[in-house]
A and B are shown apart, each in its own frame.
Chain A
Amino acid sequence: MRPLLGIMAAFLLLPWHVSANGPGLEGAWRFVPAKSTDIASWDDSQPQLEISSNAGNVRIVRSWLYRAKIACTDTLEFRPGGDPHSTVILTEVWPENWFMGVLSSPGDPMIVSGLWVEEGSVLRLLVRETVRTSQGKTVMATTADYTLGPDGNTLTVSEKRSSRPTPVILVFERKDPSR
């Protein structure tokens, strides 16, 4: 069993994205509004993504740029196929849709888990977060599929919220395609 455990451990310690074809989902991603659902951003604020891995954990940093400054950032960190990971919500801003009367709920947990639907190219995240609305707190569950395009330089995020009748499609392109 030891050799097998060692192989498994070595596999987990390897960067998850590594593949013969390139860096996978890892990297910095720029939003492409023309190919995305209208995201109801205020004053053309834009999301951007930084995806990295470390010792088998995936780290997704979502930043929203407002007038060239970062208005808010949240970080989702989890091990694909592993136990749900809980973090504490730090900011009131719920950046998904700034035209809706929904706030994040600082101090409450955000629970994230994920799994590979297709190893290296399709990652599914499950996020449960507490939000606040005019009627008080409620839990919102989101399933988000991160799908790498065939060229390796396009990333499509399809977010399905438990509360929303239609998915939100966000398309990104790699900031540095030469990687």
Chain B
Amino acid sequence: MNRHLQIIPFLLLPLILPLIPYAAPAQSGTLDGKWELIRDRSTDIDLYGTLTVEIRTQGADLTIIRTWGSGRSYRDSITVPVGGAAVSVPVTNRVFPSNVFMGFMMSVGTQREVRAFREGGSGIRLEESFRLRGSQGETDVNAANLFTLSPAGETLTYEIRRSTRTSGPPVKFVLKREGSAAGYVIRLEDNWELAGKIPLQAFLISLQGVANKNGPLVYLLYPENWPFTYVQSVFEYYREKRNYSFRELKTAEEAIGALGKYVKGYVVWDRNVRSSLIVAFTVAGLESAVVVSEEMIPLVEKAGLKPVEDFRGKFEGWNDTKIYTWAYDKYWSRCSREFIIWLGGEPGPVMKPAVADWGIFKGAFFSDLSCRVTDTTEYALSGKLLSEMKPMSLVMGWHSYGKDLEREFVKLTSSFGHRVIGLHTLPNLSFSAQTPASPGFKFTNNHHLKPGVTPVPGKKVYVTCIQTDGMGLGAWLKPGRGEIPYAWEVETNYTWMAPAMAEYFYSMATPNDFLIGCLSGPGYLYPKAVPPVLLRKLIAMSREQMKVLDLNVFETMDYSEGATVEGNSDLPKSIVDMYYEGMPDAIGFVNGYAPSYTFAVKDGRPFISYDYYLSPERPEADAVADLKELARVNSKRPYFELLHIRESSDVRRVKGILDKLGPEFEVVPLDLFLAMAGKDPTFKERFLVPPEKGSQ
């Protein structure tokens, strides 16, 4: 098969996926259908607790069935011609269902007068007149019942306006289509020790991955100190903004009871051989199995599951090369060629395998092989796996802190043109990938430049800040966001990998939060290590993702030749030009992590490296002195001082530092900074000069 033809569908995947409509019922867009209450967004229903509404249209007639409560319930069904003709309905039950705890009752034996009207295509008004009995006798009541479909057709708002209730909050119920957006939530403890709770955590994560093959069913609530700080907040977002209802599963027994129907078996890992768990995750994805340690076998047997693999004693005395070679021989042919999991991170007695649900969901191969050249056998196997993936595949997870360095890992993956999406702690992707953005939602960045107006810099020091390591980590939810202009690195694959989560970030952004694309490509890669023919394609892929996300600034980073200290993080002109050509709509580029030294400008579009890295430990007074010193040694004005802020610093701390810089300094949004730097580039053009052939 032509290689390009193989690549094209994969290239298009991120573009196509967001366009696939959410699997809504056939009746979406009309009010007809069954609707269930979203309790958290509705007026409290005292006795009955809940409400369902069913709306049917037949010819000119409209039937509305309101059922208050579930077990003990009150059903009220009315059929009315639409258009204002009154229908008399005899009152046969004294219950006043929306407020049982108030001393009201319907007057049995009287008549309700009901009229129905359509309000455009998305509303129904049901007018009722009836007699209501209180302690002092009967009174006439008029009630308008307003049923309004949300613009996206996902929710129905039912509001009751009674003539007798003239103050206080409106009586309003929000309902969603019956059976839609219903999931489970499981809270995970903060214990990731192999000798502790890892058997339970691994079981639950594998159960999530398997169950979510059937839709977005399971969301895991990681502890508050989880590196991705948004877990709880995004959960609330799904509930409050995306109409999810979650049933909490509190124990492993409850979890397997509710979700066991999606599971085809179990695989036993060996608590004496850590890597057996990593191989077990591979098996879990291929066989739709859960991973269990020995003590958990009775639990899954009781649930009716059968073993699909048992690694107890299997790998004893084997090194990782031998274990993963065995796994390769046995499973590789069935594994994904587009996704592979590096389940690294903390080594030894701890494991934090949050990304495993995604690997199971995708049927990926798992390992934590070393990418260090001197670890010859593991390195060779890493290379073999990566070489057999499709070009531009996604390497999810992270390198093992006990085996190699981030730069060794990303250099090797980049050399095959693959893209890394970190970390091993990345949670809930199997859920998020299946939860689209709201219908019609448009990603809109907070741009600060006015079309056709090029800002002219003054004789000042312009400072701008970018947080490291993406929005999901660090300071987004910490104090100070929005108080100063600040730029945030966006994982552009969220367009298809977690679209609703991207919406969550975008809809929270303040005017001071400016979002940028990263990191060297659609995923993390080192451009100097990527074969040029693939780099062009990767840049093109980033360009398309940036369009969807309304981003016009892109960030590069390259530690393939070492870091700032003992190597260089600079780029040669040929690669800088590739970004300029591949991203014609970008207004500028930023480069580095710690300070870097590549600078250029082309048609008013600057390519600027970081001039300062603010570590979370740097004392404020020293950081202030550093920034002032940089402004002394860069004596021309304007001076453009680009700061990279470690994600574990919160914005308030950064503001505290910037506030002490004095009147010569001005903190500006990144897009304004780049426009001014492009207009008056006082930095000197500088590229990495590749060593001549034959030289050391």
**What residues of chain A have their CB less than 8 Å away from a CB belonging to chain B?**
37-38, 40, 42-43, 45, 66, 71, 93, 97-103, 131-136, 138, 140, 161-166
Residues of A within 8 A of B684 (CB): 134-136
B127 CB, nearest partner CB in chain A, Å: 70
Q: Is B192 an interface residue (CB 8 A)?
A: no
Q: Among the listed stretches B318-326, B393-401, B501-509, B593-601, which one makes contact with chain A, having 4 or more residues with CB under 8 Å of it? A: B593-601
> Is B626 touching A163 in the complex (CB atoms < 8 A)?
no
**Which B residues are CB-close (under 8 A) to A98?**
564-565, 594-595
- CB-defined contacts of B625 to chain A, threshold 8 Å: 164-166
Mark each residue of chain B from 56 to 85: 1 if its CB lies under 8 Å from any CB of chain A, else 0. 000000000000000000000000000000
Is B241 an interface residue, CB under 8 A from the partner? no
Report yes or no: B612 in contact with A101, Cβ–Cβ below 8 A: yes
Are B632's CB and A164's CB within 8 A? yes
For B640-677 the 0/1 string (1 means CB < 8 A from A) is 10000000000000000000000000000000000000
Residues of B within 8 A of A166 (CB): 621-622, 625
Q: Contact at B610–A101, with CB atoms within 8 Å?
A: yes
Task: Please encode chain B, from 229 to 264, with 1 for each CB lying within 8 Å of some chain A CB and 0 for all others.
Answer: 000000000000000000000000000000000000
Whether B634 contacts A42 by the Cβ 8 Å rule is: no
> B residues within 8 A CB of A140?
633
On whether the beta carbons of B633 and A138 are closer than 8 Å, the reply is yes
Q: Find out whether the CB atom of A101 lies under 8 angstroms from the CB atom of B563.
A: no
Pair A71/B565 contact, Cβ less than 8 Å: yes
Instruction: Using A100-B612, A134-B611 as known contacts, list a sample of 11 further A-B pairs with CB atoms less than 8 Å apart, ordered by residue number in A.
Output: A42-B565, A43-B565, A99-B615, A131-B633, A134-B597, A134-B684, A135-B636, A135-B683, A163-B632, A165-B628, A166-B622
Q: A135-B684, A164-B625 are in contact. Are A93 and B565 (CB under 8 A)?
A: yes
Contact pattern, B 9-35, Cβ under 8 Å of A = 1, otherwise 0: 000000000000000000000000000
A165 to B628, CA, bound (A): 8
> Are B611 and A100 closer than 8 Å at their CB atoms?
yes
Measured between beta carbons, the chain B residues less than 8 angstroms from A37 are 622
**Nearest opposing residue in chain A for B405, CB measure:** A67
| Chain B 584-606 interface 0/1 with A at a Cβ cutoff of 8 Å (1 = within) | 00000000001111010000000
The verdict on B613 contacting chain A, using a C-beta distance below 8 Å, is yes
Chain B residues with a Cβ under 8 A of chain A: 563-566, 594-597, 599, 608-615, 617-619, 621-622, 625-626, 628-630, 632-636, 639-640, 682-684
Q: Which residues of B contact A138 (CB under 8 A)?
A: 633-635
Give the complex CA separation of A124 and B483 in angstroms. 45
Q: Which residues of the partner chain A approach B626 to less than 8 Å between Cβ atoms?
A: 40, 97, 99-100
> Closest Cβ of chain A: how far from B629's Cβ, in Å?
4
**Contacts A100-B611, A134-B683 given; does A164 touch B629 at CB 8 Å:** yes
- Between-chain CB contacts (< 8 Å), 14 pairs: A38-B618, A43-B565, A66-B565, A93-B565, A98-B565, A99-B595, A100-B630, A131-B633, A133-B633, A134-B611, A135-B639, A140-B633, A163-B633, A164-B625
Distance of A21 Cα from B113 Cα, bound (Å): 110
The residue from B594, B611, B622, B630 contacting A42, defined by CB atoms under 8 A apart: B594
**For residue A133, which residues in chain B have a CB less than 8 angstroms away from its CB?**
611, 630, 633-634
On chain A, the residues within 8 Å of B630 by CB distance are 100-102, 133
How far is A38 from B619 in the complex, measured between Cα atoms in Å?
7
The CA of A163 and the CA of B636, in the complex, are separated in Å by 14
A137 nearest CB neighbor, chain B only: B684
> What CA separation (Å) do A158 and B305 show in the bound complex?
70
CB distance from A147 to the nearest CB of B (A): 21
Given A42-B563, A135-B682: A101 touches B597 (CB 8 Å cut-off): yes
Q: Given contacts A136-B684, A164-B629, are A99 and B639 in contact (CB under 8 A)? A: no
Residues of B within 8 A of A132 (CB): 597
Query: With A45-B565, A165-B628 as given contacts, are A38 and B622 in contact (CB-CB < 8 Å)?
Result: yes
- Please, which residue of chain A has its CB at the minimum distance from the CB of B644? A99
A131 to B635, CA, bound (A): 13
Determine the chain B residues whose CB is within 8 A of the CB of A43 once the complex forms.
565
Q: What is the chain A residue whose CB lies nearest that of B566?
A: A71
Question: A165 contacts which chain B residues (CB < 8 A)?
Answer: 625, 628-629
Tell me the smallest distance from the CB of A89 to a CB of chain B, in Å: 16
Most buried by B among A131, A136, A138, A162: A136
Question: How distant is the Cα of A43 from the Cα of B619 in the complex, in angstroms?
Answer: 16
CB distance from A159 to the nearest CB of B (A): 12
Q: Is the interface of A mostly helix, strand, loop or mixed?
A: loop
| A100 touching B629, Cβ below 8 Å | yes
Bound together, the chains give a CA A98 to CA B644 distance in angstroms of 13
Q: How far is the CA of A136 from the CA of B682 in the complex (A)?
A: 9
Docked complex Cα distance between A161 and B628 (Å):
12
Q: CB-CB < 8 A to A99: which residues of B?
A: 594-595, 612-615, 618, 626
Complex Cα gap A42–B615 (Å): 9
Distance A56 CA – B633 CA, assembled complex (angstroms): 34
Q: Is the CB of A38 within 8 A of B617?
A: yes
Closest B-chain residue to A161, C-beta based? B629
Chain A residue with the shortest CB-CB distance to B640: A134
**Complex alpha-carbon distance, A84 and B629, angstroms:** 26
Question: Which of chain A's residues have a CB closer than 8 A to the CB of B563?
Answer: 42
Residue of A nearest to B615 (CB): A99
Residue from B599, B611, B628 whose CB has the most chain A CB atoms within 10 Å: B611
A161 to B635, CA, bound (A): 15
What 3 pairs across the A-B complex have the smallest Cβ distances? A101-B611, A101-B595, A163-B632
A97–B504 Cα distance when bound, in Å, is 38
How far, in angstroms, from A42 to B567 measured CA to CA in the complex?
A: 13
Give the residues in chain A near B613, CB-CB below 8 Å: 99
Contact (A66, B566) CB under 8 Å given A100-B630, A101-B609, A166-B625:
yes
Residues of chain A contacted by B610 (CB below 8 angstroms): 101
Specify the chain A residue showing the minimal Cβ separation from B684: A136
Q: Name the residue on A nearest B627 (C-beta).
A: A100
A135–B632 contact, CB under 8 A? no
Minimum distance in angstroms from B160 CB to a CB of chain A: 61
A99's nearest neighbour on chain B, judged by CB, is B613
Give Cα A179–Cα B622 distance, bound, in whole angstroms.
35
Cα A103 to Cα B688 in complex, Å, equals: 14
Q: How far does the alpha carbon of A71 sit from the alpha carbon of B567 in the complex, in Å?
A: 10
A125 to B621, CA, bound (A): 25
**In the complex, which of the residues B621, B626, B636 has the most CB atoms of chain A within 10 Å of its own CB atom?**
B626
CB distance from A115 to the nearest CB of B (A): 26
Q: Are B621 and A102 in contact (CB under 8 A)?
A: no
Q: Which of B563, B596, B613, B625 has the most CB of A within 10 A?
A: B625
Give B463 Cβ to nearest chain A Cβ, in Å: 13
The winner among A37, A97, A132 for most chain B CB atoms within 10 A is: A97
Complex CA distance for A103 and B595, rounded to whole angstroms = 10
C-alpha spacing A98/B632, complex, angstroms: 17
Bound CA–CA A140/B632 (angstroms)? 10
Beyond A133-B630, A133-B633, A135-B636, is A40–B618 a contact (Cβ under 8 Å)? yes
Q: Which residues of A contact B636 (CB under 8 A)?
A: 135
Bound-complex Cα distance A178 to B616 (A): 38
Q: Is the CB of B564 within 8 A of A134?
A: no
**List of B residues within 8 angstroms of A100 by Cβ:** 595, 611-612, 626, 629-630
Q: Closest approach, in angstroms, between the C-beta of A29 and any C-beta of chain B? A: 21
Complex: A135 Cα to B628 Cα, angstroms:
15
- Complex: how many Å from CA A164 to CA B608? 24
Given A101-B610, A163-B629, A135:B618 Cβ within 8 A? no
Residues of the B chain whose Cβ atoms lie less than 8 Å from the Cβ of A66: 565-566
User: Does B634 lie within 8 Å of A134, measured CB to CB?
Assistant: yes
Instruction: Answer whether A134 and B609 are a contact pair too, CB < 8 Å, given A97-B626, A165-B629, A166-B625.
Output: yes
**Contact assessment for B622 and A40 in the assembled complex, using a CB-CB cutoff below 8 Å:** yes
Question: Shortest Cβ distance from B281 into chain A, in angstroms?
Answer: 31
- For residue B639, which residue of chain A has the nearest CB? A135
Q: How far is the CB of B355 from chain A (nearest CB, A)?
A: 25
Residues on B with C-beta less than 8 A from A136 are 684
